[in-house]
């Protein structure tokens, strides 16, 4: 590990030594509202290539210092105003003013950086969605994935309000790549009950790339890429930050986050502390749900340089989460039960009302999750070319406890270490042609440290090389690339002792249970697409992409009881790589009042992997250690889907907007032998989302960014479930009404004092079960006859954001 950090330290010293030899390049100007020539306060100015920016002051003035010389994209955005993007040549002191106009239909002008090469949404043949911090503040969420699930094509597999797994177009687990500040997030993401270990409060922006157009980050992103981006460094010669407090009524959640950052002559730094504490959530059917408490304690920060040669930044973070596990066990009267230690033996007792309201974590039925990460991100200008280099090291600790006889000893303890690297060279743009070549990959080691073993220790190394290009011809924009990946996987042997417990090392009383696995997977992938601008209002787009995903370690070698999933999992040593071919077609229409975006897709996946419940010869569930048995299976699959968004924002009434979206995906197992096995598991039902929003930039002398919204979310019934062997059940339709309002309160000098956001989810307190909720398969309540546990009831969220200057 010392040898890994020595070159990093050397390069940092070199970067500092270069800072005195360069002059200043500065861009500055004013941002005004075109209708009134009034200064826009708090408009965001962002340079995607450099991941830096600032905001306008009370006079609408902005300034960004310590910039490289060259041509860059400036993105200017503000709530309820049309986003502006403009290429600007920066040399010495450059002045650039902007005039913004009222509009809610500004999605097409958003600049996306998660695809590697910066691009406008309207210029991408691959469907892309983005969600800003302001949009997140105006919603209610209990975890990072919760914040993005209302975007078209995005859903989540849930295990209560804490654990959420992102699903894009019906594909999840490690088919979705999560990128955090340019670095792949690796935290056992292949499991159904494994959440993303990133502080929700620390995110400035989400970018969702839907489909297998993920050449820049790995071929295995068959579903897509979620790129989460931290806030930009503080503007030059300033120290500022904010304090955020969030309270939610349903589970008594208290969330707190404070950050502070500075910028002195291009030396930038940020720091953040976040904490969450929540009790059991509740709904009308289950009351308080035992085992749904959680706590979080997170730290993160950054130090770096913004200079004429580019930037160099070191990010560090520590994510910590303790959660109880919802097992859904109840007595004959429908009350939740728990295991306790009495007279040296495990006994079952009823959970009292007082215990349900107590926010403390029960250690003998819990998970303790920790993720430590440090990354070094660099962007260097080399004349008109540029080079980016990211290096990262992370440790992930996953401890699962489920034994009252040994409450503080982990049954399962996965210790995962990852080294990640990413290098890209961007050639200078010439004749509207952009070309990037690069390589990225990782080295992983996983060791079991718990009393039990679910799958063996393993070592993994992979590498990918790629080329990506984009070419503009008047009304036609073409983009695409090729990638070649190689992955070496070495899974160690697994043994079983005389007591039936799995061991990673042989001894006198063990026998071999898993013979080990060593194999190299390799494949070529590619993506090609085009956007054709028929006229100033209408564009059509299409894309074809080939993806490849090597099997994960659990899919090959699992053989044990998984405490977090309440089932016995069995892998398949003959697993083959998944290979996908996806086609996208869509169109976009946008005029001064109307925005329409429609996308159709077809995805054919060979050797699609899924988990299926096992039955014995009598047709009943196969049971080991009182939990059902699941086995990984493969078959050829086809996924067809539609995503559509319509926004009406009349030019004569910019304060009003109406948005209607629809998402649908149908996943079919082409290798199924009967109708009950026809459909793929965890497919989201068709979803309609209607939103009416009223906004006002200024209201009186002390209110800014005032808004009020009403949202109706309708999920249709899901009858296309994997019914074979009782793996899944059908799910009825349900509708939720959500409302929100908020504003920024200012002083007489128009400076923001604080912002307030009030949101109510499930206003009518409906009782429902999401089709992708794993809690719906828990035990039947013998009193009511209802199976499983239901989703959260009415939840009122209050956020207060106080800026620090």
pLDDT at position 16 is: 45
Q: What is the pLDDT of residues 745-760, one digit of tens each?
A: 999 888 889 999 999 9
For the cut 90, the answer to whether the pLDDT of residue 607 exceeds it is yes
pLDDT at position 101 is: 81
In a domain, 120, yes or no: no
End residue of a domain, out of 81, 99, 117: 99
In a domain, 156, yes or no: yes
- Helix H or strand E encompassing 238: strand 238-248
Highest mean pLDDT among 142-146, 154-158, 210-214: 154-158
Q: Tell me which DSSP letter residue 136 carries.
A: H
Q: Are residues 539 and 395 in the same domain?
A: yes
Dump the DSSP string for 536-586.
SSEEEEEEEEEEEEPPPHHHHH-EEEETTTTEEEE--TT---EEEEEEEEE
Buried b / exposed e over 554-584, threshold 16 CB at 10 Å, is bbbbbbbbbbbbbbbbbbbeebebbbbebeb
Q: Are residues 71 and 184 in the same domain?
A: no
The rounded Cα 412 to chain-centroid distance in angstroms is 25
pLDDT at position 21 is: 39
Q: How confident is the model at residue 86 (pLDDT cuts 50, 70, 90)?
A: confident
In sequence order, what E strands does 716-774 have?
Answer: 734-746, 752-761
pLDDT at position 117 is: 57
- Tell me the C-alpha distance between 320 and 782, whole Å: 37
- Tell me the C-alpha distance between 196 and 135, whole Å: 20
In a domain, 591, yes or no: yes
For the cut 70, the answer to whether the pLDDT of residue 23 exceeds it is no
CATH of residue 524? 2.40.170.20
pLDDT at position 305 is: 92
The arithmetic mean of pLDDT across residues 530-558, rounded, is: 92
The mean pLDDT of the chain is 88
Q: Name the 3-class secondary structure at 395.
A: strand
Highest mean pLDDT among 85-89, 226-230, 432-436, 761-765: 761-765
Residue 463 token pair = 């590498």
The rounded Cα 317 to chain-centroid distance in angstroms is 16
Residue 464's CB: how many other CB atoms inside 10 A? 24
Q: Are residues 139 and 94 in the same domain?
A: no
In a domain, 118, yes or no: no
pLDDT at position 115 is: 46
Q: Are residues 188 and 77 in the same domain?
A: no
In a domain, 550, yes or no: yes
Long-range contacts of 741-744 (CB under 8 A, 24+ apart): 741/707, 741/708, 741/709, 742/137, 742/138, 742/705, 742/706, 742/707, 742/799, 743/699, 743/703, 743/704, 743/705, 743/706, 743/707, 744/42, 744/703, 744/704, 744/705
Q: How confident is the model at residue 20 (pLDDT cuts 50, 70, 90)?
A: very low
**How many helices and strands (H and E) does the chain possess?**
4, 50
Q: What is the pLDDT of residues 363-414, one digit of tens each?
A: 888 999 999 999 999 999 898 899 999 999 999 999 999 888 888 889 889 9
For the cut 70, the answer to whether the pLDDT of residue 112 exceeds it is no
Q: Is there a contact between 167 and 156 (Cβ–Cβ < 8 Å)?
A: yes
For the cut 80, the answer to whether the pLDDT of residue 211 exceeds it is no
- Tell me the C-alpha distance between 77 and 98, whole Å: 11
pLDDT at position 738 is: 96
Q: What is the pLDDT of residues 186-209, one digit of tens each?
A: 887 666 667 789 999 999 888 888
Q: Are residues 202 and 133 in the same domain?
A: yes
Q: How confident is the model at residue 569 (pLDDT cuts 50, 70, 90)?
A: confident
Residue 710's CB: how many other CB atoms inside 10 A? 15
213 vs 298, which has greater pLDDT?
Answer: 298
Q: How confident is the model at residue 7 (pLDDT cuts 50, 70, 90)?
A: very low
Q: Are residues 87 and 148 in the same domain?
A: no
Closest CA to 80 of 56, 55, 59, 106: 106
In a domain, 114, yes or no: no
For the cut 70, the answer to whether the pLDDT of residue 586 exceeds it is yes
Residue position matching structure tokens 């996965």: 414
* Dihedral over Cα of 127, 132, 134, 135: its sign: positive
Residue 605's region, left for phi above 0, alpha for psi from -120 to 50, else beta, is: beta
Q: Name the 3-class secondary structure at 121.
A: helix
Q: What is the pLDDT of residues 546-565, one digit of tens each?
A: 999 999 998 998 887 765 56
Q: Are residues 532 and 627 in the same domain?
A: yes
For the cut 80, the answer to whether the pLDDT of residue 470 exceeds it is yes
Half-sphere exposure of 90 (CA within 13 A, CB side): 29
Q: What percent of the chain has pLDDT over 70?
A: 93
- Helix H or strand E encompassing 355: helix 353-357
Q: Are residues 93 and 214 in the same domain?
A: no
pLDDT at position 82 is: 79
For the cut 90, the answer to whether the pLDDT of residue 280 exceeds it is yes
Q: Are residues 63 and 135 in the same domain?
A: no
In a domain, 113, yes or no: no
Q: What is the pLDDT of residues 417-428, one digit of tens each?
A: 999 999 999 999
Q: How confident is the model at residue 257 (pLDDT cuts 50, 70, 90)?
A: very high
Closest CA to 567 of 779, 792, 367: 779
CATH of residue 39? 2.60.40.10
Q: Are residues 163 and 80 in the same domain?
A: no
Number of structural domains in the chain: 2
Rounded to a whole number of angstroms, the CA Rg of the chain reads 26
Q: Is there a contact between 170 and 667 (Cβ–Cβ < 8 Å)?
A: yes
Residue 64 token pair = 């960004």
Q: What is the dihedral of CA 48, 52, 55, 60, to 10 degrees?
A: -70
pLDDT at position 91 is: 85
165 vs 709, which has greater pLDDT?
Answer: 709
End residue of a domain, out of 50, 83, 99: 99
Q: Are residues 83 and 164 in the same domain?
A: no
Q: Are residues 210 and 91 in the same domain?
A: no
Q: What is the pLDDT of residues 722-752, one digit of tens each?
A: 998 888 999 999 999 999 999 999 998 888 8
pLDDT at position 118 is: 64
For residue 244, give its domain range: 128-804
């Amino acid at each position: 590990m010392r040898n890994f950090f020595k070159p990093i330290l050397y390069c940092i010293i070199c970067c500092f030594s270069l800072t005195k030899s360069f002059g200043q390049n500065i861009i500055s100007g004013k941002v005004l509202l075109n209708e009134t020539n009034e200064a826009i306060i708090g408009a965001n100015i962002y340079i995607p290539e450099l991941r830096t920016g600032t905001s306008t002051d009370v006079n609408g003035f902005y300034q960004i210092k310590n910039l490289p010389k060259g041509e860059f994209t400036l993105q200017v955005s503000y709530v309820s105003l049309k986003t502006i993007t403009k290429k600007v040549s920066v040399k010495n002191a450059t002045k650039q003013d902007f005039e913004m106009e009222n509009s809610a239909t500004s999605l097409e002008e958003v600049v996306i950086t998660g695809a590697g090469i910066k691009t406008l949404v309207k210029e991408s043949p691959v469907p892309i969605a983005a969600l800003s911090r302001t949009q997140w503040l105006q919603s209610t969420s209990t975890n990072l994935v919760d914040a993005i699930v209302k975007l078209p094509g995005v859903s989540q597999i849930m295990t209560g309000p804490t654990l959420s797994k992102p699903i894009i177009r019906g594909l999840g687990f490690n088919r979705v790549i999560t990128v955090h500040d340019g670095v792949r997030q690796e935290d056992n993401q292949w499991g159904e009950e494994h959440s993303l270990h990133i502080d929700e409060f620390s995110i400035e922006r989400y970018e969702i790339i839907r489909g297998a157009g993920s050449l820049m980050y790995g071929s295995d992103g068959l579903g897509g890429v979620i790129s989460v981006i931290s806030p930009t460094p503080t503007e030059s010669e300033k120290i500022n930050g904010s304090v955020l407090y969030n309270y939610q009524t349903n589970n008594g959640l208290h969330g707190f986050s404070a950050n502070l950052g500075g910028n002195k002559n291009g030396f930038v730094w940020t720091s953040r502390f976040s904490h969450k504490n929540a009790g059991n959530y509740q709904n009308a059917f289950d009351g308080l749900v035992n085992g749904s408490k959680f706590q979080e304690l997170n730290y993160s920060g950054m130090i770096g340089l913004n200079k004429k040669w580019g930037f160099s930044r070191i990010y560090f973070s520590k994510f910590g989460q303790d959660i109880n596990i919802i097992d859904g066990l109840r007595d004959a009267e429908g009350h939740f039960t728990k295991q306790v230690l009495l007279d040296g033996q495990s006994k079952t007792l009823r959970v009292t009302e007082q215990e349900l309201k107590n926010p403390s974590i029960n250690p003998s039925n819990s998970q303790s999750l920790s993720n430590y990460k440090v990354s070094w991100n660099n962007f260097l200008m080399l004349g008109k070319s540029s080079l980016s280099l990211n290096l990262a090291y992370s440790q992930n600790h996953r401890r699962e406890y489920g034994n009252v006889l040994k409450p503080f000893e982990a049954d399962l303890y996965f210790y995962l270490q990852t080294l990640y690297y990413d290098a890209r060279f961007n050639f200078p743009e010439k004749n509207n042609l952009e070309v990037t070549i690069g390589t990225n990959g990782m080295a992983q080691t996983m060791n079991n440290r718990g009393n039990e073993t679910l799958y063996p220790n393993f070592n993994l190394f992979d590498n990918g090389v790629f080329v990506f290009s984009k070419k503009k011809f008047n009304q036609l924009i073409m983009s695409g690339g090729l990638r070649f990946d190689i992955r070496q996987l070495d899974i160690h042997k697994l043994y079983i002792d005389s007591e039936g417990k799995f061991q990673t090392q042989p001894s006198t009383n063990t026998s071999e249970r898993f013979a080990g696995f060593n194999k190299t997977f390799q494949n070529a992938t590619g993506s090609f697409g085009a956007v054709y601008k028929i006229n100033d209002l209408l564009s059509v787009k299409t894309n074809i992409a080939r993806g490849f995903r090597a099997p994960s370690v659990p899919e090959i070698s699992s053989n044990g009881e998984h405490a977090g999933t309440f089932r016995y999992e069995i892998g398949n040593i003959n697993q083959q790589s998944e290979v996908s071919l996806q086609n996208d077609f869509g169109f976009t229409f946008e005029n001064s009042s109307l925005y329409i975006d429609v996308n159709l897709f077809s995805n054919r996946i060979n050797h699609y992997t899924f988990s299926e419940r096992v039955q014995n010869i009598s047709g009943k569930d196969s049971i080991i250690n009182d939990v059902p048995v699941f086995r990984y299976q493969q078959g050829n699959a086809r996924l067809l889907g539609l995503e559509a968004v319509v926004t009406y924002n009349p030019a004569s009434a910019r304060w009003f907007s109406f948005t209607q979206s629809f998402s649908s995906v149908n996943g079919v197992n082409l290798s199924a032998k009967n109708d009950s096995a026809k459909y793929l598991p965890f497919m989201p039902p068709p979803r309609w989302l209607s939103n009416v929003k009223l906004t006002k930039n200024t209201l009186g002398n002390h209110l800014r960014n005032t808004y009020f919204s009403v949202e109706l979310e309708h999920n249709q019934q899901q009858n296309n479930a994997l019914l074979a062997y009782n793996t899944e059940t059908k799910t009825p339709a349900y509708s939720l009404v959500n409302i929100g309002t908020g504003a920024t309160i200012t002083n007489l000098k128009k400076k923001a004092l604080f912002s307030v956001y009030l949101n109510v989810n499930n206003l009518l307190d409906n009782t429902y079960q999401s089709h992708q909720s794993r809690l719906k398969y828990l035990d039947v309540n013998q009193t009511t006859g209802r199976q499983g546990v239901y989703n959260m009831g009415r939840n009122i969220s209050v956020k207060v954001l106080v800026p620090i200057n």
